[in-house]
Structure 1
Amino acid sequence: MQSLCKSHFLQQVYRKIDGAVLKSRNERNLDCVITFQTESILQRFMLRFDQLSLDCNDHLFIFDGAHAVGSYKADLSCRNTKTAVGSLFTRTNFVTLKYVTDGWGTDLNGFNLVITAVKDYKHDCKEFRCTMREFCIATDLVCDGINHCGDESDETSFPKCSRDDMGTIFGMSMTLFVVAIVSGVLIVCAIVVGISVCICRQPPLQHQNTNLPPDCVPVVAELSSTGANGAGGRKLPENLLPPAGLGYSGSLRARLYCQAK
């Protein structure tokens, strides 16, 4: 309220609204007047308090019109409670508030006032119609977290009004979803690094030892032998002698090849 009550030329301008919430918290030495107007002349205002706890020297005057003159609709002070006041309706499309406070108070003093422009359903209601009330409110006021209808129907009539589903992805809050994505990326990176380390540490294949040079493969040495018992010929190494026995009188040929790998 204190910000609305600052002394400047806009204070004298009628504020056209579909809905508003006015809050006061122990504001002292105020004496201001605020006027609100509906967008359409077919509308009027409903006023309802979510919290009302005024000091006995503080007064909130409500006028059914564009000026704080004449008789007021309500004079609210410490004797009034939100339950006793209930919902107030204007007959015109204007409402004027005059708020007067003294220089003393506590943090418990103040109010939360919900002001809503309503239209009787008989006037071609094309916007949101409240369930328990015979009037309509602007569609922009639906699912905004504020009970404009007074029966909560503007906050519970649609699935999208569920506060639990707002700002979620796959049923998770935005923060939890981001944490899950980052954790998944880190886990995948850790797996890739682990596999790479295991491959790099794998020992090379062991080659079988051999008495021959690595680039040569022995086949057979070309040798000759005459005679059945090898007489008259060159003596062969033991590992290259022909098989013993008859029938081996011819020449024995062999070759040794070295193949490059």
Structure 2
Amino acid sequence: MTDRSADVPAELRLDAALQLLGRSGVALPSGGDPRDPQWLQQVIDGLIEVSSRDALTGLANRRQFELALEREADRVARAGEPALLLLLDLDHFKSINDTHGHAAGDLVLQAVAQALLDCVRPMDTVARYGGEEFAVILPNCPPAFGATVAERVRRRIESRPVPISNSLALKVTASVGGAFAPPWVRSSASLWIERADRQLYEAKAAGRNRACLETTATTEVSAEEKGLLFGLSAPMPLDEPAQHFPKP
């Protein structure tokens, strides 16, 4: 059997990587040898894990979310199984930071992240989308269950006041927008995000602390998706990032 350790450099500049992993809570066996492929693979796996997680909440970060969403859009196109994307925005989050400080805001974000994890399945992907925005990808979620799922998520956040001191707990609410990926259609992650974002804007415009989902009829096939499906020659702005609607 070939000794693969001979192919691994005896000295690698791993100090910064190991320090990062230690601060992130990733445990590695002590006394590791860079010439040991198994130990080196653990370092690599740890770095991949750290790079895919949001440092504050521990949720998937935006990069990991976008990769997961692309995979799910492809799966829906191939298998035809329904999948729901939820985008959530915490209501009046800026006032929390302004009134109670950013440390309190961080506690709120961590509490909301845990609330989301507590009400989804292991197969679902929960991510911090950016700032006070979160996203949830729910594979194999039929349209008949969509409104119930979105409302359960919204209520879970609302029902858990966040303690920020011994004498104060903040009630937090979120607006939720959701859209289904059309089955058997070669769609794109950016179009899916755009649809959910439009519903999030509707929830904000309607007064916040509510969930709005795109109707099933609307999610069947959009003009852009017809272009993807039938190869229309008209240019489609699929490579541009989804535009977030201004929040009222």
By percentage of residues, which structure has more strand?
1
By percentage of residues, which structure has more helix?
2
Same fold (TM over 0.5): no
Larger of the two Rg values belongs to structure: 1
TM-score (norm 1): 0.21
TM-score (norm 2): 0.22
